[in-house]
Structure 1
Amino acid sequence: MRPRRPDRRRRRGGGQVRRLSFDDQSGVVPLARDFTRQALYAWGWLPAATADQRAAAEDVLLVVSELVTNACLHAEGPDHLAITCDNKVIRIEVTDRGAGQPAPRTPHRAGRPGGHGMFIVQRLCLDWGVVRAPGVAGKTVWADLGAPA
């Protein structure tokens, strides 16, 4: 089964949004990274002209990987991924059916295997959070990253 066709819409203020539904796909982390990479090319983040721009694009791909991986490990897998972009911020949203509350492990110990995902998200992002819709199972974990200069 192929993923649904990506949804590409304009947002107020000139931003764009792209959505990907996973529809019980396997290999969702590479699928999410490829989808995000295509969006970054379409929005001019890639190919990167400078080291800072390359690092910003890699940060976006890493955050997508971490959020989708967390949905796989802790929430029965992701339902969909949404990416929005304007000139200043890119927002990543991963929706799943899980009831858990993501949080960085504290204290963070770099030498310990596993448990680094939300610590990485917290360090790389301008902000992040969780949204739950009343009466609906699951949540959306979102993260905002700054656009490269």
Structure 2
Amino acid sequence: MSVGLPAAGQRRRLALSGVRGSVAKGRDFTRQALRDWGWDGTETTEDTLLLVSELLTNASLHADGCHELVLTAGQVLRIEVYDGTTTLPRRDPAPRRGVPGGHGLHIVERLSDRWGTDVHADGKAVWAEIEIARLVSGRPTGR
């Protein structure tokens, strides 16, 4: 497979309502999509998997669970995690070093090019975007 953009607007969805181990399943799903699209084996791939983990974990801990993970490839890779609450995520203004909790949205902000929230009738989607150029030209992880 050649490295580059997959078919414009290609989208993959993973239903996660009531699924045990949703974070691990979401990471595996994302890893396979990145591999299929020729975007695996770089530092940005690892950043992407961490983003997915953080978004899914936040939905599990703070939003009554994940309903769905959606990956959309276009000019950016868009990662969306849908949950069932309209409560917006709140970034901890001063997470403490070495203490668990409060770091998730800081990690999302640092690793993504953009992130945000879209509220809809049944809840919300918290999303993060990564520029395709980062996935295509990222440094190899040495695997």
Which TM-score band (shorter chain)?
0.7 to 0.9
Q: Contact 1:104 / 1:122 at 8 angstroms: preserved in 2?
A: no
Tell me the CA shift for residue 108 of structure 1.
3.6
- 2:81 maps to 94
The answer as to 2:18 corresponding to 1:31 is no
**Which 10-residue stretch deviates more, 136-145 or 26-35?**
136-145
Q: Contact 2:86 / 2:119 at 8 angstroms: preserved in 1?
A: no
Q: For the residues of structure 1 that align with 2:92 and 2:131, how far apart are their CA atoms?
A: 24
Q: Contact 2:85 / 2:123 at 8 angstroms: preserved in 1?
A: yes
Q: For the residues of structure 1 that align with 2:129 and 2:112, how far apart are their CA atoms?
A: 6
Q: Deviations over 1:52-76 (max 9, x none)?
A: xx11000110000000000100111
TM-score (ref. length: structure 2):
0.83
Q: Secondary structure at the match of 2:78?
A: strand
Aligned counterparts, 1:1-149, within 5 A = 14-46=8-40, 48=41, 54-86=42-74, 88-133=75-120, 136-147=121-132, 148=134, 149=137
Q: For structure 1, list consecutive stretches of 5 or more residues without a partner in the other structure.
A: 1-10, 49-53
Q: Contact 1:74 / 1:98 at 8 angstroms: preserved in 2?
A: no
Identity across aligned pairs (percent)? 47
Q: Contact 1:83 / 1:92 at 8 angstroms: preserved in 2?
A: yes
Q: For structure 2, list consecutive stretches of 5 or more residues without a partner in the other structure.
A: 1-5, 138-143
Q: Secondary structure at the match of 1:14?
A: coil
Q: For the residues of structure 2 that align with 1:23 and 1:114, how far apart are their CA atoms?
A: 24
Q: Secondary structure at the match of 2:51?
A: helix
State the superposition RMSD in angstroms. Answer: 1.6
Q: For the residues of structure 2 that align with 1:36 and 1:95, how far apart are their CA atoms?
A: 15
Q: Deviations over 1:76-106 (max 9, x none)?
A: 11100000112x4211000000232113211
Q: Contact 1:71 / 1:98 at 8 angstroms: preserved in 2?
A: no
One-letter identity of the residue aligned with 2:87: G
Q: Contact 1:98 / 1:139 at 8 angstroms: preserved in 2?
A: yes
Q: Which has the higher contact order (CA 8 A, sep 6+)?
A: 2
TM-score (ref. length: structure 1):
0.80
